[in-house]
Amino acid sequence: MHNSLMPGTNLRAASLVAAAVFTALLSIPSLTLAAVVTLPDPAVDTNAAGAKGMQTAVLAGGCFWCTEAVFEQLAGVHKVVAGFAGGDAASAHYELVSSGRTNHAESIQITFDPAKISYGQLLKVFFAVAHDPTQLNRQGPDYGRQYRSAIFYRDAEQKRVAEAYLKQLEQAQVFHKPIATEVVELKAFYPAEEYHQQFVRRHPDHPYVVVNALPKLEKLKKQFPELLKKSK
């Protein structure tokens, strides 16, 4: 689990080993990344024409290092914050959440311009690239309810779009197993400790990042090149 690989330890040798192992795994067809799924665009989405100002979306899909790294690549996304949702303020601390004794999920808060990228498009990336929505209370090597798949809606419009897209994906049967994603009301979002913010960008050689986050970024580039921010 990524909480055992915290910054501050001697990671260089470990990261090199992890990178070598990952490269070797990619050379074996049966052990490559999860099969790429082609998802339909949301049939129900927010109205970009009536959108004014920035909006926020809160999503949970396993390790927030990985999901944060994916969404901050998207054009129209102004900021992504790693944090916690689903529990109370008193327990919104990494050591408590990672113990599995709280109701929090590792989550991200995405601040985006709905005139440039819609809430539905964010959900499409969430389901296609950011995580595996068929995994129940886990994500990759991380186990526990704190790594569950969840959409924390802020208002009736977000709830409407999220529930409609879930139904659309289930009817299209694009995944090999049932979707485990919860759609729940957002009570509050609590930012995580500073050392978790933009972790992938600041620690690209971290062994957990090499094995779990970087492949998602490559998948994003291949599947959604039209949604990426333009290089300066």
Active site residues: 63
What is the radius of gyration, based on Cα positions, of the chain? 17
